Amino acid sequence: MIFEIILGIIGLIVLFFVLKFILKLALTILGVTIGVPLYIAISCVMMMFHHLIPTVVMAGIWLAVSYFDMSNIFLISASIFYIAVIVHLENREAARDVSNALQAALDELKIIPVEKINTYKPKWSSMGHNIRERLSSADAPRQLAEAWVAAGKLQKKELWDKREYYYQSDSLIISIYREIEQKVTDFFDTIFDSKGIYVEGVPINLFETDTTCYQLKNMCKDVLVEKYLNRNVMDEKLCCDTISHEGKPIKIFMNLPVVKKKMELLEKDSLLNTGKILKKSDGVSEDILQDIMTTIHKFLPDFDYVRISDKDKFKKTFMNLSSVKKKIELLKKDSIFDISQLFATDFPKDILQDIMTTIHANLPDCDYVMFTESHGKLWIHRTYASQYKCEICGGVFKETKLYGPKRYCASCLNKRHSQEAADEAEGKTVKRYVDAPPPGMIIK
């Protein structure tokens, strides 16, 4: 019973798709046999009414031939002449439509790339325009544009992007050039007055991608960017340094007074997050930050920055070696110091270790050891660390005790005493040391 129900359902599904296919096939045949001829007939009627005078004349000739029983040769000749007139009129109107469409495009866009000129054709949408569309060559807009160039109505020239363009006057090109030049000037004036730094190759978006002749304007922009930067370097308003990044030379441009002022404001802590100078939105790769800081040091020697850590969270954190060195010189070499005497910023212990390792790598005399239980807060110069070092666990502690010949931290000393007590309980001989012997007693 269940099997029969399943077969019945499958049969209904197959029947549905068969009927759907038959209906679709029938509609297609109906469209071809009736729709296409009907479409052609309507198109012809609309075209005849569009050219009403020749159509009325031709209708009169047909009536005259029928009424006066004239020769069919006359009717055939008149029909051929009528068709020739219609084709001529359609051809003339097609040329007029192309001219209007091209002129409208030039009025709106002002300038058109040669390779895109044929895209500006009339939008013939009604059925009565079928013949007109067939009579118009696909290359008609370009042919018309070339005719206008020959007549002096239109200009054609290769511009900054090495592409040819049609435009109406040279004054338009001059105005485009000046518009882009002003945009470039405003953009860089803002950059150098606020940030003070520009890295070559960082995208400069002055136009929407769908802007008229975006490629041309973008190429002109590139030319003017180079001109602006070179002019200001020559006028000594900007300084420039060339670095190598991934095997390619890249220029870094700086407005030194602005950079110096920004750096001085960030100097209080000796640590610098470059996000305060260049943000991710500025388009500068994190990999190039060290090169930027090196360039700053090259022109401003007081700002000698090195990257602290390669950890993702701290890739943008740099340290001013000159500033740190001055602070370290104020510390007593044999004394314990708090990290806050160097940096006001709180960091995890592992990052503080990275900071001190970076200091030692760049300033070899500054070799400091972290106190084990200080969470990175307390440090001592390695030369004087031995008196604070537990000889059992190897940790460095602010308080250690000399027990016998060895120095212990509190934890290791407690473990030693616990072991001694356990050994005594088992009857073993234990050698104990007096923590504080009486005056005059010598412990061997």
Does 25 map to a domain?
Answer: no
Does 149 map to a domain?
Answer: yes
Going by C-alpha positions, the residue among 57, 125, 136, 126 that lies closest to residue 92 is: 136
Does 102 map to a domain?
Answer: yes
Query: How far out from the chain centre does Cα 309 lie?
Result: 26
CB atoms within 10 A of CB 440: 5
Please check the confidence at residue 88 and state whether its pLDDT lies above 80.
Answer: no
Is residue 277 very low, low, confident or very high in pLDDT (cuts 50, 70, 90)?
low
Mean pLDDT lowest among 131-145, 222-236, 417-431? 131-145
Q: Which residues make Cβ contacts (< 8 Å) with residue 70, sequence separation at least 6?
A: 64
Does 52 map to a domain?
Answer: yes
Residue 155's pLDDT is: 83
Residue 442's pLDDT is: 56
* Cβ–Cβ under 8 Å, residues 253 and 200: yes
Q: What stretches of 371-439 adopt beta strand conformation (E)?
A: 378-381, 401-403, 406-408
Please check the confidence at residue 225 and state whether its pLDDT lies above 60.
Answer: yes
Query: What is the pLDDT averaged over residues 20-34?
Result: 55
Q: Which helix (H) or strand (E) holds 243?
A: strand 239-245
The pLDDT > 90 percentage for the chain reads 3
* Cβ–Cβ under 8 Å, residues 303 and 320: yes
**Residue that is written with structure tokens 């473990």 in the block:** 415
Q: Cα-flanking dihedrals φ and ψ of residue 10, to 5°? A: -60, -40
Does 431 map to a domain?
Answer: no
Q: How many residues does the chain have?
A: 444
Distances (CA, A) of 45 to 52, 55, 125, 244: 10, 10, 16, 73
pLDDT in tens, 381-431: 888 888 888 988 888 888 888 888 888 888 898 998 888 888 888 878 777
Query: Angle of helix 289-299 relative to helix 256-265, nearest 10 degrees?
Result: 110
Does 113 map to a domain?
Answer: yes
Looking at per-residue pLDDT, the higher value among 430 and 55 belongs to 430
Q: Which residue segment(s) compose the domain that 66 sits in?
A: 39-167
Does 48 map to a domain?
Answer: yes
Looking at per-residue pLDDT, the higher value among 288 and 383 belongs to 383
Query: What is the total count of domains within the chain?
Result: 1
Mean pLDDT lowest among 241-250, 339-348, 380-389? 339-348
Residue 384's pLDDT is: 84
- 181 burial via Cβ count (<10 Å: 0-12, 13-18, 19+): middle
Looking at per-residue pLDDT, the higher value among 314 and 239 belongs to 239
Is residue 129 very low, low, confident or very high in pLDDT (cuts 50, 70, 90)?
low
Query: Angle of helix 72-109 relative to helix 52-67, nearest 10 degrees?
Result: 170
Residue 260's pLDDT is: 86
Does 84 map to a domain?
Answer: yes
